[in-house]
Structure 1
Amino acid sequence: MSRAVTHVLLVHDQALVRQGLRLLLELGGIDVVGEAADGESVVAAVARLRPDGVLMDLRMPGMGGVGATGRVAGSARVLARTTFDSDEDIADVLRAGAVGFLVKDVTSDGVVDAVRRAAAGEPVVSPTVLARSMGHFAARPPTPPVLPPGLVDLSDREPEVLARIGAGRSTTEIAAELSISMATVKTHVRRIFAELDLRDRAQAVVVARKAGLVADPRTP
């Protein structure tokens, strides 16, 4: 079964670069329906040609790639491509509506594949950009627990009961794990609900998790 043809608008302010990209994309089976050298031309060309996607350079005279992306992202899927892979560039163009971001060290086959996927609506990110973003994400400090008002007023035993409610334990299981009676568990639960202003166990689960109490008590 033949693959549907992808129709793309090519955007760059340098004619020689556009020529090279056109050849690359057309050899890859992509139909380049038009070219543009600045943001204003992009807006007009998208309205006139209705491409599936736009391969968008970011640094152009006049209206840049970010501004043009914001104007056309509702009509065509935009894949941004630039030499400059600053976090600010990436964030700005993605906020403007682009479905992906490529830096210019991507291979020829990688560009063709990325354009086709982006035009189909699939998010696309250069491996180098993705790796850096993952590094930023991994380096972020963990979200601190949110301690609800009233938690400090619980007895020493009651946070243990709340932790087990958060882990999905039944009253019977909590009693067995803490070696206390079911009546005592119910007393603790009533007091927990009163101190933390909880209506039901579902709310208790949420509070226990936000407070960082939900590490499984049976895990050593």
Structure 2
Amino acid sequence: MSQIRVLIADDESLVRGGLSLIVAAADDLTVVAEAASGPETLAQTDRTRPDVILLDIQMPGSDGIAVTRQLRDRPYRPRIVIVTTFGLDIYLHQALDAGADGFILKDAPAELIQQAIRSAHRGDAVLSPQMTRALIRRYTSLPTPDPAPPAGYDQLTARERQVLTLLAQAHSNAEIATALHISEATVKTHITRILMKLGLRDRAQAIVLAHRHGLDRPAP
């Protein structure tokens, strides 16, 4: 069985040790390196070519957001999952804009952390319900959204716009399927097309975009 190669980057040795144990406990995951600073994370990425990086935001030398931006612009670009605390939700939109693939909490159960790595490796966004709610709170507390539709929005079908609205309301694929009386496979197809037409990487970016432009509410 092919293993998913994981780099763990955190300035606290106890956190790195705990995450390493969680990753090593799964047969399909393996830790290829650890890093305690931003520069070390970049160096270890170049050296070991991990599939997924579990990345802390607050690190010496260069924080997780700056590291994410630098990795985004490189030819070899691993998936990046920010490992954060709930109190740091102010950084959510910054990390998403930088190119992070999702967020997990440092105190999340081991099974959820392992699943987050697998999801990121598949190319799915990793956004826990707590992080989704925090993201929505942040954008609903901002001033009036930009009334201009984002680039590519006019290419969306009526059904795709419905799916985007439900995404922005933090519904899962199963909940969207139930609400629209369609299959989960069809929901996934719609989401893939939405991301392609809007030039987005994942559903986390779609949530951000929808709230920035007031698309989290059904059209009249």
How do residues 6-155 of structure 1 correspond to structure 2 at under 5 angstroms?
A: 6-29=4-27, 30-73=29-72, 74=74, 75-135=77-137
RMSD: 2.6
CA shift for structure 1 position 88: 3.0
Give the TM-score of the pair, scaled to structure 2: 0.59
Secondary structure of the residue aligned to 2:117 is helix
AA aligned to 1:101 is F
CA deviations over 1:52-73 (Å, ceiling 9, x no partner): 1100011111111111111123
Secondary structure of the residue aligned to 1:102 is strand
AA aligned to 2:40 is S
AA aligned to 2:25 is L
Aligned partners of 1:65 and 1:132: how far apart in 2?
A: 19
Task: In structure 2, list runs of 5 or more residues that go unmatched.
Answer: 149-218
C-alpha contact 2:89 2:134 (8 A) present in aligned 1: no
Change (3 A) 1:133 1:26: same
Aligned partners of 2:19 and 2:147: how far apart in 1?
A: 50
CA deviations over 1:158-208 (Å, ceiling 9, x no partner): xxxxxxxxxxxxxxxxxxxxxxxxxxxxxxxxxxxxxxxxxxxxxxxxxxx
C-alpha contact 1:9 1:46 (8 A) present in aligned 2: yes
C-alpha contact 1:106 1:126 (8 A) present in aligned 2: no
CA deviations over 1:21-76 (Å, ceiling 9, x no partner): 11111102311110100000111111111111100011111111111111123511
Higher relative contact order (CA 8 A, sep 6+): 2
Secondary structure of the residue aligned to 1:7 is strand
C-alpha contact 1:52 1:120 (8 A) present in aligned 2: no
Aligned residue pair count:
146
Secondary structure of the residue aligned to 1:33 is strand
C-alpha contact 1:85 1:129 (8 A) present in aligned 2: no
Aligned partners of 2:38 and 2:122: how far apart in 1?
A: 22
Which structure: larger Rg? Answer: 1
CA shift for structure 1 position 136: 5.5
CA shift for structure 1 position 102: 1.5
